[in-house]
Every structure is written in structure tokens, then in C-alpha cells.
């Protein structure tokens, strides 16, 4: 399921073709995931079926990164956090759980 390359784990499940995200709304929680990981994408599709439009699912690759390697829209979430695991944030940007 995962390959180790240069000490870094990489998912070997091929990514799915998904519709691009155009914008996010700050009135709903956001689940940030790895858009290049087929394993993550498959789970996100499953969760979307369960939660409907109550949660936004956005790949971390969508977000601009600031000079401190944080997501601009969610300054308490780093790009490194996103590479390790999904991140869930409330509408105000507060992360709910962190790995």
C-alpha cells in the first residue's frame, strides 16, 4: 500500500481523476487531504457520501503556502502536517485534531 522512497512514505494507490476545487467556503468545516494519494481520495469519496455537503473536502495542493510553510487559509496547519495525515478544521480555521 505504501512505498518508502528516500525515507519518505508514498502511497502507491493511483490517484483518481476528480473535479478541481474552485473555492472554499468559510461557513463549513474543511477536511484537508492529499490530492495526489489514491488511498486518501478513495476515503474522501466514502466520507463525502456519508456527510453530504456538511463538510468541504479540499486537497492541500489547492492552498497557497506562506513563507512559514503553513496553509494561508489555515495558518495553524503546516504543509508537513498535511503530508502526514488528513487535517480537519472548523470554519474559523481552528484544527480539530492533529497527528
Q: Is 96 helix (H, G, I), strand (E, B) or coil?
A: strand
Find out whether 88 and 31 touch, Cβ atoms under 8 Å: yes
Distance CA 11, CA 36 (A): 9
Q: Which residue has the higher pLDDT, 78 or 97?
A: 78
Distance of CA 74 to the CA centre of its chain: 12
Residue-level pLDDT at 31: 94
Q: Average of pLDDT values for 32-50?
A: 91
What is the pTM (predicted TM-score) of this model? 0.78
Residue-level pLDDT at 8: 63
Q: Which residue has the higher pLDDT, 40 or 97?
A: 40
Distance CA 40, CA 51 (A): 16
Q: What is the pLDDT of residues 43-61, one digit of tens each?
A: 999 999 999 999 999 999 9
Amino acid at each position: 500500500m505504501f512505498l518508502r522512497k528516500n525515507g519518505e512514505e508514498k502511497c502507491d494507490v493511483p490517484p483518481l481523476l476528480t473535479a478541481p476545487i474552485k473555492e472554499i467556503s468559510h461557513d463549513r468545516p474543511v477536511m484537508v487531504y492529499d490530492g495526489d494519494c489514491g488511498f486518501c481520495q478513495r476515503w474522501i469519496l466514502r466520507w463525502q457520501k456519508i456527510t453530504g455537503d456538511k463538510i468541504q473536502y479540499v486537497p492541500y495542493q489547492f492552498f497557497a503556502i506562506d513563507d512559514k510553510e503553513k496553509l494561508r487559509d489555515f495558518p495553524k496547519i503546516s504543509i508537513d502536517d498535511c503530508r502526514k495525515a488528513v487535517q480537519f478544521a472548523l470554519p474559523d480555521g481552528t484544527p480539530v485534531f492533529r497527528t
